[in-house]
Amino acid sequence: MKNIKSAIAILSALTLNLVTLQSTTAQSAAKRYIVVFKENPVTDVDSVVQEHTRLYALPEVTHTYKRVLKGYAALLPDALVTMLKNDPRVDFISPDYPVKAVGQTLPEGVQRIGGNLSSGKSGSGQGSVNTPIAIIDSGIQVNHPDLNVVGGHNCVGKGTSYNDGYGHGTHVAGTAAAKDNTIGVVGVAPGAPLYAVRVLDNTGNGSWSNLICGVDWVTTNSASTGIKVANMSLGGVNSSDDGNCGNTNKDALHQAICKSVAAGITYVAAAGNNSQDFSNFTPAAYSEVLTVTAMADFNGKPGGGAASTCGSDTTDADDFAASFSNFATIGTSNVNHTIAAPGACIESTWLSGGYLSISGTSMASPHVAGTVAVCIASSKCAGKTPQQIISKLRSDAAAQPITYGFQGDPNSPIGTHYYGPLVYTGNY
């Protein structure tokens, strides 16, 4: 009895101590982190999170992860980070890095890549594709008349709405899958069911903890929704590819994406708009994703020479790599997961049922995500693994005649920049 009492006394003292520590440090040095559990010691994530909350007096836990990672995201004072690192169930703790929408430098793109020639028949008035696409972005305007939004999930703050308060996700969704009807624009995979996975807020900003929440949701629900392709027109200069799915450099986002890819989801990511090598821009840098650079096209045809439709933004020439686009460097392994798509002055759906023309690799990426959906629907990619799909899209694009391409593609490189071959939807 005495022993039990003293044990309780020690525990209470410990808890009190922790609470005091937490309350005195919370205001000064608290930052957001992702706490990743070891796979084997932890089987029940919720119970360990509850225990951590109690033991360490955790401030608010914003996300818990069960499928692509085991762990949680929370605001943690520095002193707690040190303690948690010594917890036997914790593998590592990652800073919660920022990500943001790529694009917004303010469509012939679908025609340029042969969308009208594919089995999706974009622009025929009867095109339709039935492969669902996850748009991991700022949400999608759920009642836009030119979009077929069938569901989604909110990973931003509290609340459950995945409606778009920014516009970026709605634009991306339209390029991938606007309906082939009598209004507005038509997407690469017309009318495809869209899932709005909201990880960016109403200013286009988000974080790794939001993004991992989105990847976790897509993976957990892939069987019930049928999602096999996801678009990520976002990123940040936060990490790099360790060639080992984040297990060597303790990259929580990379680990999550690798788990999801292993579950059969093909990820398509924007290369970024910094006019530089994307090797430090994640998720584009991960070799498990299909990374999309941007080229400029103003008339839906190869050959160059068309007048710019960009108004005052006239820096890019027809059928040239876009000056803002990131790229891989010839001779590096990143060339093996890089492909190009139109991304200059792309007309697509916008908020309030509207339409807008904007530029960025954000706009290029959904041309490719839509193409993956068409390929899966046409059976040419059905049953293939994400790695096989990435390989097929790249090799089919590279097999197009030289005249199909653009200045900056592998047949006519610009210095050591590698933008990849121009995706060709007409194959599928």
Choose, by CB under 5 A, the member of 241, 318, 347, 396 that binds Ca ion. Answer: 318
How big is the site for Ca ion, counted in residues (CB under 5 A)?
Answer: 12
As beta bridge partners, residue 417 has 329, 414
Q: What is the DSSP letter of 299?
A: S
In the bound state with Ca ion, the residue whose beta carbon lies nearer, of 155 and 369, is 369
CA gap 327, 272 in Å, rounded: 8
168 has catalytic annotation? yes
CA gap 269, 42 in Å, rounded: 31
E strand or H helix at 357: strand 355-358
Cβ 345 to Ca ion shortest distance, Å: 12
Interface residues for Ca ion in 319-348 (CB under 5 A)? 319
Structure tokens, 338: 């890089």
Q: CB under 8 Å to 357, separation ≥6 — which residues?
A: 106, 107, 309, 310, 345, 346, 347, 348
What are the backbone dihedrals phi and psi of residue 52, each rounded to the nearest 5 degrees, phi first? -60, -40
Is 216 catalytic? The answer is no
Q: Residue 242 class from Cβ within 10 Å (0-12 exposed, 13-18 middle, 19+ buried)?
A: middle
Interface positions, 280-309, toward Ca ion (CB under 5 A): 297, 299, 301, 306
CB closer to Ca ion, 110 vs 155 = 110
Using CA atoms, how far apart are residues 369 and 413, in angstroms rounded to an integer? 24
Residue type, 363: M
Instruction: For residues 344 and 364, give the distance between their C-alpha atoms in angstroms, rounded to a whole number.
Output: 8
Compare residues 290 and 321 and give the one whose CB is closer to Ca ion.
321
Minimum Å gap between C-beta 175 and Ca ion is 12
Query: 168, 337, 367, 417: which is the annotated catalytic residue?
Result: 168
Q: Which residue has the tokens 């490719």?
A: 368
What mask, x for binding Ca ion by CB under 5 A, covers residues 184 to 223? x-x-------------------------------------
Q: How far apart are CA 24 and CA 258, in angstroms?
A: 39
Cα–Cα dist 326/294, whole Å: 8
Q: Which residues contact 91 (CB under 8 A, 6 or more apart)?
A: 36, 37, 38, 39, 250
Catalytic residue among 91, 96, 137, 409: 137
Q: How many CA atoms lie within 13 A of 328 on its CB side?
A: 26
Which segment (56-64, 138-146, 168-176, 420-428) binds Ca ion by CB under 5 A? 138-146
How far the first Cα of the chain sits from its last, in Å, is 75
- Residue 409 within binding range of Ca ion, rule CB under 5 A: no
Nearest distance, CB of residue 146 and Ca ion, angstroms = 4
Residue closer to Ca ion (CB basis): 98 or 300: 300
Please, which residue, 167 or 191, has the CB nearer to Ca ion?
191
- Catalytic residue list contains 137: yes
146 lies in the site for Ca ion, by CB under 5 A: yes
Q: Tokens standing for 330?
A: 């010839």
The distance of closest approach from Cβ of residue 183 to Ca ion in the complex, given in angstroms and rounded to an integer, is 5
Give the interface segment with Ca ion, choosing from 49-57, 206-214, 313-321, 352-360 (CB under 5 A): 313-321
- Among the listed ranges 2-10, 141-149, 344-352, 386-394, the one in contact with Ca ion (CB under 5 A) is 141-149
State which residue, 181 or 249, has the beta carbon closest to Ca ion. 181
Q: Residue 172: which of 351, 404, 302 has the closest Cα?
A: 351
**Cα 276 to Cα 131, 240, 262, 286, 323, distances in angstroms:** 33, 14, 29, 16, 10
Please tell me what DSSP assigns to residue 384. Answer: -
Rounded to the nearest whole angstrom, what is the least distance from the CB of residue 306 to Ca ion in the complex? Answer: 5
Toward Ca ion, which CB reaches closer, 222 or 349? 349
Task: Report, in Å, the least distance between residue 151 CB and Ca ion.
Answer: 21
Nearer to Ca ion, 276 or 299 (CB): 299
Shortest spacing between CB 122 and Ca ion, in angstroms: 10
* Local structure of 236: helix, strand or coil: strand
Interaction pattern, residues 148-187, with Ca ion; x per rule: CB under 5 A: ------------------------------xx-x--x-x-
CB of 269 to Ca ion, least distance (A): 25
Residues that bind Ca ion (CB under 5 A): 146, 178-179, 181, 184, 186, 297, 299, 301, 306, 318-319
Q: Which residues are catalytic?
A: 137, 168, 362
